[in-house]
Chains A and B, each alone.
Chain A
Amino acid sequence: MQKIKLGYYPGCSLEGSSREYNESVQAIAEKLGIELVSIPDWNCCGATAAHNLNKELSLSLPARNLALAEEAGLKELVVPCAACYSRFTTTQHELMHDETMHQKVNGIIGKEYKGNLRILNVIQFIEEFIIDKLDDNIKFEFNKKVACYYGCLLVRPNKILNFDRTEDPQTMDVVMKKLGADSIDWAYKTECCGAGFSVSFTEAVGRLSGKIVEDADHRGAEALIVACPMCHSNLDMRRPEIDKYNGKKLNIPVLYITQAIGLALGIDRNILGLQRHFVTVKLNDFKPFAKKIEVENLQITEEI
């Protein structure tokens, strides 16, 4: 089998406080014969800070990465961090729809981005390159009740991202069902966790993340499944603030969707970085995978 090669932008969080996200993405890719090629000499996307303070900067930082990826001959770019993904897609959209700004940004970064990259978030990456390989490679069924949490930047703004529904998205649920999980309906799928205000406005993060964790727990979910390092940090590391807001201690763990896939593939828990979480991931007793799981609407993004 020929190895699939895809461009990869880990982003800063995945090299630091959320390295287990990177570890689990890399682990499942390697297991399924996919090579992820990092953009040479990539830089930070600028995140919330850049677009809050300066428009040209907020477009130039992602644009440098996009131009470098294009120079390296990459066609697809997998961006697991939902915030980086949002900045990249927004930049691509702005540059392709505003020629004056496009020229200006080319001047600032000293490179030209032509706009030929296909930017994929982690779910699109899974849908396109992972899901078809699951049937032949799953070792264990993820036989748990899960709450898939999408947050903001994976699905909004829909006009630019054109990915899944803004209010009741389904793509992560489909993937989790495919692994054998029972993904529940719940109220906080796309509510904001407080995102980049984790340090500078912690009270708000305690309240917003508190509601999310409480609802998932209340409806009997055994795990929260996420696809964004900021969502993960807030829901996992901010548990003292969350518990304080809720007035009770909640032990529901938070897993990256790639860690859930990794567990189903039988990859070692430490390779997936589960030991790095603040809320202990106790989940075990996975059923050995017996027969192929049929899931309706496997390609839900096509319908929207």
Chain B
Amino acid sequence: MSESHNHLVDNSLSGKIKKETGVSVARCYQCGKCSAGCPVSVDMDYPPSLLIRKLQTGLPEHEEQVLRSKSIWFCLSCEMCIARCPMEVDIPPMMDYLRHESIRLKKVNPASKNIISFHKAFLDSIEQTGKLYEMGLIVDYKTRSFNLMQDVMLAPSMFAKGKLSILPEVIKNRRNMKQIFKNTLKNKQK
């Protein structure tokens, strides 16, 4: 009995989470403190405790729902859940892992399109120059997300207040930066 149970856990998404992040969803007793404290649980399709419950069942349809959920992308990584969890189930690193798996398995929820476009535009900027180029990021994000009109009034005021630079800051060792991206993000995407 226990052997077959272990076998089940090892192949499940929760088993992979345990192996990759050390986080055990089995510890959760569904008190709901994470969902109560989470500032974006109202925006999520499944609040954090329900996401964990779905992982606990280990049913393929539940795991599918988790990987295709909005929740994993709407998570702000604010760490409130772990601060309040009586069982110390470390949800934020679990969320990171679920996001990575969701991308790897091409199961990203369409509602998270803008959020991911922003992340990608952000990282592209760093890959090119080593530092964040805010002006470039805004333009790149707008093009990717087709939100061309968003914040059109904000940029000129920011510029007037000296908060936006026209030209990017560039680090000297850009080759090192390219290398880091080649060995990490670009490596995984292949």
What is A's interface to B at a CB cutoff of 8 Å?
A: 12-13, 15-19, 41-44, 46-58, 60-61, 64, 107-110, 152-153, 156-158, 166-167, 190-192, 194-197, 199-202, 204, 208, 237, 275-278
Contacts and interface: CB of A to CB of B under 8 A. Distances in A.
Interface stretch (B1-9, B57-65, B114-122): B114-122
A51 B176 contact: no
Interface in B105-143: 114-120, 122-123, 126, 130-132, 134, 138, 141
Contacts of A158: 83
B158 to A, nearest CB: 6
Given A19-B163, A199-B151, A192 B39 contact: yes
Contacts of A50: 123
Given A195-B78, A199-B151, A53 B123 contact: yes
A200 B114 contact: yes
Contacts of A58: 96
Given A152-B79, A192-B76, 18 more contacts: A12-B134, A16-B132, A16-B164, A19-B163, A48-B119, A49-B120, A51-B96, A52-B77, A53-B116, A56-B183, A56-B184, A61-B180, A152-B78, A156-B82, A157-B83, A199-B151, A200-B117, A200-B119
A16 to B, nearest CB: 5
B54 interface: no
| Among all A-B residue pairs, the 10 with the closest Cβ atoms | A156-B79, A192-B78, A12-B132, A200-B118, A57-B184, A49-B122, A49-B119, A152-B78, A43-B130, A56-B184
A197 B176 contact: no
B24 to A, nearest CB: 15
A23 to B, nearest CB: 10
Majority secondary structure of chain B interface residues (helix, strand, loop or mixed) = helix
A53 B80 contact: no
Interface stretch (B27-35, B45-53, B167-175): B167-175
A276 B161 contact: yes
Given A16-B164, A52-B119, A55-B96, A41 B184 contact: no
A63 to B, nearest CB: 9
B36 interface: no
A61 B118 contact: no
B80 A152 contact: yes
Nearest to B154: A237
Contacts of A60: 180, 183-184
Interface in B136-168: 138, 141, 145, 150-151, 154, 157-158, 161-165
A64 B83 CA distance: 29
B39 A41 contact: no
Interface in B75-102: 76-80, 82-83, 90, 92, 96-97, 99-100
27 contacts: A13-B132, A16-B164, A18-B163, A41-B172, A42-B171, A46-B126, A49-B122, A49-B123, A52-B99, A52-B119, A54-B184, A108-B179, A108-B180, A152-B80, A153-B79, A157-B83, A158-B83, A191-B80, A195-B76, A197-B76, A200-B114, A200-B115, A200-B119, A201-B74, A204-B74, A275-B161, A278-B157
A275 B157 CA distance: 12
B10 interface: no
B83 A194 contact: no
A47 to B, nearest CB: 7
A19 B114 contact: no
Contacts of A51: 77, 96
A157 B79 contact: yes
